[in-house]
Amino acid sequence: MTDVETDQRLEYAQRGMLLAWWAQQQPEAPAIISPWGSRTFAELNARANQLARALRARGVTTGSSAALISGNLPEFSEVSFATQRSGIRLTPVNWHLTGEEAGYVVDNCEATALIADARHGEAAAVAAKAAPNATVRLAIGGEIEGFESYGEVVGAEDGSDIEDPSPGSQMLYTSGTTGRPKGVSRTQAPRQVGVLGGLFDYTAGQDLNLCTGPLYHAAPLAFSHLIPLASGAGVVTMERWDPEEALRLIQEHRITHTHMVPTMFVQLLKLPQEVRDRYDVSSLRHVLHGAAPCPVHVKHALIEWLGPVVFEYYAATEGTGTFVDSPTWLSRPGTVGKVMPPDQVKIGDDEGNELARNEVGTVYLKAPDVGRFEYFKAKEKTDSAYRGDYYTLGDVGYMDDDGFLFLTDRSVDLIITGGVNVYPTEIDAVLIAHPKVADCATIGVPSDEWGEDVKSVIELAEGVEPSRDLEAELIEFARDRLAHFKCPKTIDFVDELPRQDNGKIYRRRLRDQYRKATETS
């Protein structure tokens, strides 16, 4: 890319019109490929302009907020890029929420426009009633009572580039693991935003990113949507995760980049060898993961299968932390990366006082000088997250002598048995290695004697039947590999573990279920 092209691209980006720049450079290159239709860069850009004009005509302009309840449809991308160039703050809403729960988010984010996928029309209609300020309502792909037709509204407008773009933003909501979901708001984009995009070596017009998770989540939205499209690479979307289908899509489209969570790795590696061998995945150059600790043996097996193309980050909706490539990780298995600069992450106690190297404590990330996050309309929650210039997501870990960060667990998942701290992910990682185990979640359950007992809840591999003998076998398997105080005292077998929609196990829901059962027994 020439200096002139770089300057032009930067100018378009600053106005929220980077997609328009790519539409000029490669109009026929694929931007979105999905089971519900595809868009070239020119088509996606035109639709974004049409929607921007339609929203403006209805009073949704710079400074407004919009909410989107949608699966991974092409229209999700249209809404994203329309608001990005219209000065509108977009909040994608989890379509798994009930209408009441979605309504809380739509109302809380102060949306004046609500755009909804008709497949989730029942929840959207309830959400609309809970958010009376969202007077502009558009239904995608079908009818929702009280909503205009998205297709008709957009189709009536001009698709040429709008003349007066204004950069918009996103305000995503946390998953609500500690109460009501919280909007993560910034008055200005932090300076480091976009830095990771340059690490992925996209070839514009050729590379494709497989989106394996729901786009309303921060990681898929950034790493499998905004960053590739901003780099001129296309996106292939899945509506729901399926391990063999992912391999099929990688082979069919010669996928070069993707983002996953560790649970997906486990499910891919548990596929029979003949199934894995059926698909050519040699096109992959970047398999990015984060969002949860990855068992060391799982990542070793994945790198052995795919090659040194696995990259890991430590970050969240609130901000970024570390990044590590395969060769570096192999030299220090388990790390989530070296802290750069050295003060970007620190390990501290509950008050934020820094701890010594190799001492386990709360992980704190340094807030950016510009664009610090705050929880929308929740000053007390914002204040509780910060310790001076640092904030915490509630994760627990340590930093080694050379400045490499290792995560052990989340503080909310910590089990305290007999006054001793036990980290569930360490136990999960051992039990998942057993060939009869498909997945595992370890929790603490109330105990009169110990405060909490360690219990593992296991989803068995296909064709394996639960039994007391198997429970004893798995406990012994753990005791051979871990200190005995860490090992489960009991194991329960379930047909399916409760999972969040991004693939992570919903440990809190499982823990609450067992605690409630104990209280009523």
Tens of pLDDT along 257-283? Answer: 999 988 889 889 999 999 999 999 999
pLDDT at 177 over 50: no
pLDDT at 187 over 60: no
pLDDT at 295 over 80: yes
Give long-range contacts, CB 8 A cutoff, 24+ apart: 270-277: 270/243, 270/438, 270/461, 271/243, 271/244, 271/247, 275/244, 275/247, 276/247, 276/305
Instruction: Lowest mean pLDDT of 166-170, 200-204, 312-316, name the range.
Output: 312-316
pLDDT at 92 over 80: yes
pLDDT score, position 182: 83
pLDDT at 176 over 70: no
Confidence of residue 191 (pLDDT cuts 50, 70, 90): very low
Confidence of residue 196 (pLDDT cuts 50, 70, 90): very low
d(CA 135, CA 114): 8
pLDDT at 473 over 70: yes
Mean pLDDT computed over every residue of the chain: 89
pLDDT score, position 520: 64
Among the listed residues 112, 174, 100, 215, the one whose alpha carbon sits nearest the alpha carbon of residue 378: 174
Residue pair 138/113 in contact by the 8 Å Cβ criterion? yes
Tens of pLDDT along 229-257? Answer: 999 999 999 988 999 999 999 999 999 99
Domains of the chain: 40-170 (3.40.50.980), 414-520 (3.30.300.30)
pLDDT at 140 over 90: yes
pLDDT score, position 178: 46
Tens of pLDDT along 40-51? Answer: 999 999 999 999
422-461 in b/e form (b: 16+ CB < 10 A) is bbbbbbbbbbbbbebbbbbbbbbbeeeebebbbbbbbbbe
State how beta strands 310-316 and 415-417 pair.
unpaired
Tens of pLDDT along 361-419? Answer: 999 988 876 666 788 888 877 877 788 888 887 788 999 999 999 988 776 787 878 76
Structure tokens, 325? 């490539």
